[in-house]
Copies of this chain bind each other. A is one copy, B any other.
Amino acid sequence: MTSQGTATLAEIARQAGVSAPTVSKVLNGRAHVAPATREKIEVLLRDHGYRRKRGAARARPSGLLELVFHELISLWATEIIRGAENVARQEGLTLVLSESAGREEMGLSWVDGVLTRDPAGVILIMSDLTAEQRELLTGRDVPFVVMDPAGYPADDVPSIGTTNWQGGYSATRHLLELGHRRIGVICGPADVLCSRARIDGYRAALETGGVVCDDVLVRHGTFQTDAGHRIARELLAMPDRPTALFAGNDVQAMGVYQAARELGLRIPEDLSVVGFDDLPISGWMGPPLTTVRQPLVDMAEAAARLVLDLGRNVRPAMPRVEMATTLVVRASTAAPGK
């Protein structure tokens, strides 16, 4: 097979109009091959009966469990690290952190790094995986799971998420039940799907409650404190200002608190606020924040277990899971002021 294979690789290289090492790269699932070239070579390899070795559970000497963040490091990243570390400790693995964003800016592909480290599994957090990247990981039998509290990954990618729509619905429902009718919502960026889902939940609750959604109360910004602060200032400066704000996350809600303090509005007497995430700080805000809890530590544990199962060829009962959000009512919400 070896000599026959070698001859055929050269032949494939000739047919594809590339060098033999390039064919070898594609065969071995390595990076740095242009997508069009890769595709042409893949077809030729298949035609000649080449198949990548896969399926066999192999021992990985590295003992690494890799977390890939798009950008380090938000407050919720620490919850995810905590959950993944819980599983790594139990399994005798070591946690590796990498950033996909910064690395790509440098012209390096994070996938190359992953393939070199050959981890027991990769958990991608809010990182979009291109078809080529997916193919590279699959070709080298590196199992991966997308843990995406903020999006909805492609159908055939194993993933752990949370019930964003339900969270948006229950937060808004809670405010309606308190008697609020003008409820503003601060979202994440418009192209982040979790944000879409939360707003759709918000709209559904308003509609169910017989309240017409006023689009001027729906604003987008980054998931940072300063965006929460800026948008809250805008919304609260309106003549017919909202009596309640549903922030995209707890970190934005801190900015809403700041805006309320600057404007002399008391929470919850003059303004009700609901967050999203239930980070440890939310219970210590002044007043303690009512928020939609997404179980980030549990989600990260589930993602770690799922990816390790995949690496052992254990077929998961549920390769795509949304873990439930729960509304945690604290002291930042009340009936609208008299």
Contact = CB atoms under 8 A, between A and B. Distances in A.
A255 B108 CA distance: 44
Contacts of A321: none
A97 interface: yes
A257 interface: yes
How many identical subunits does the complex contain? 2
Interface in A38-95: 62-64, 72-73, 75, 77-78, 81-82, 85, 89, 92, 94-95
A238 to B, nearest CB: 23
A258 interface: yes
B64 A73 contact: no
A133 interface: no
B254 A281 contact: yes
A99 B85 contact: yes
Interface string A105-120: 0101000010011000
A245 to B, nearest CB: 16
A329 interface: no
Contact of A98 (B94, B255, B287): B94
A296 to B, nearest CB: 12
Given A94-B117, A261-B287, A284-B254, A82 B78 contact: no
Contacts of A73: 78, 81-82, 85
A213 interface: no
Contact of A286 (B82, B89, B92, B257): B257
Given A77-B78, A261-B287, 18 more contacts: A63-B116, A64-B96, A72-B81, A72-B85, A73-B81, A73-B82, A75-B78, A78-B78, A85-B97, A89-B99, A89-B106, A94-B117, A95-B98, A96-B97, A97-B97, A257-B284, A258-B284, A258-B286
